[in-house]
Amino acid sequence: MKNFNSGEYLSQGTFKSFSPEKINRQWSLDDIEVINLLSKADRQLGRLDMYSEYIPNIDLFISMHVLKEATQSSKIEGTKTNIADALQSKSDISEEKRNDWEEVQNYIEALNTAIKSLNEIPFSSRLIKQTHKILLQGVRGKHKIPGEFRTSQNWIGGASISDAVFIPPNKSDIGELMSDLEKFAHNEEIILPDLLKIALIHYQFETIHPFLDSNGRIGRLMITLYLVEKEILKKPILYLSDFFERNRSLYYDNLTRVREKNDIQQWFKFFLVGVTETAKSSIDTFDKILKLQKDVDKKLQKLGSRMNNGRAVINHMYQHPLIDAKKVKSITDLSMPSVYKLIAELEQLEIIQELTGAKRGKQYWFPEYIKIFN
């Protein structure tokens, strides 16, 4: 990106806030390494998108991708809920873990709602605000004006603004900056590949930091929303939070490097490597799911006349791999004695496994399936 200027620090009296340059303008790309990485990322995304077309019942598996994204994106912000915890109901979560659990559940609801909303609402500040409101409902950030851009100064790092690591732009500039970001996202006259556009959008959003809380999670969620809206992916099956979590220091360092040294190329390289690695990982995940499906189907055939009921239970568990006898009854409409017999047979076939060790209120999970996402 020739002559990229990230912005400047402006005095606000007792501190200096960073004022980013607007991004809705024509860009010129001349870094051959970025172009090469872009080509690799595009190829892997194309392969991944093909999977979404040819895997039968792919929607069964998307919910687990969303759940993993929710736990990883929230983990970057300090929550400690893992996939096994996230699958539990609220009543089964200990009091000290409940706040983290609720934040992950909100992320799942926010992402699912945002994906559905793309049919009616474009990628926009309106959609971002709606998603933010769901993300913060009833959790620790509920008092930080959910669904609205901030009306006061925020900062990143440090106990107070006086020792902050980074101070985003003044509240009075947020509306104009977010409007510019939105126009850039939809400006078809700008000749810049979509993967670089969303990389730049993510950087700019995190720099603007328009909310008082949860800017990181919203910014990461925006990547998937953009790829789906632009039909780069037909289904929401690519999530970068796992890559960002595993490379957390580099993630923050590369965002900071753009502001401090105008080095957008390094951020692009990091982002594109993330897309490539994540797409490859997602393809590997789908391959493992297809193999597991085949192995499980072979085992289910041993159920004879109960095979269809067994398959109905397992199809449910591809979406939510934790189940109890009451849920099995609602899926199959069997009598309770027949439910327990079916569960016992699925255990004997080593498809499901009892989780709690309790005599009552037993729960069963799908260990080989969960292992794929861990």
Whole-model pTM?
A: 0.92
Q: What percent of the chain has pLDDT over 70?
A: 100
pLDDT of residue 226: 97
Residue 311 neighbours by CB distance under 10 Å:
15
Tell me which of 256-260, 271-275, 359-363 is least confident. 359-363
Where would I find the beta strands (DSSP E) of 95-191? none
List pLDDT tens digits, range 314-347.
999 999 999 999 999 999 999 999 999 999 999 9
The stretches of 301-350 forming alpha helices (DSSP H) are 307-319, 325-332, 336-348
What would the two tokens of residue 32 be? 């051959």
Per-residue model confidence (pLDDT) at position 91:
83
pLDDT at 192: 94
Count of CB atoms within 10 A of residue 1's CB?
Answer: 19
> Measured between alpha carbons, how far is 319 from 236 in angstroms, rounded to an integer?
15
For the chain, which domains are there? 7-285 (1.10.3290.10), 295-373 (1.10.10.10)
Distance CA 128, CA 141 (A): 16
HSE-CB for 239 with a 13 A CA cutoff: 27
pLDDT at 182: 97
pLDDT in tens, 98-127: 888 999 999 999 999 999 999 999 999 999
- The pLDDT, as a whole number, for residue 255 is 97
Q: Are the CB atoms for 24 and 176 separated by under 8 Å? A: no
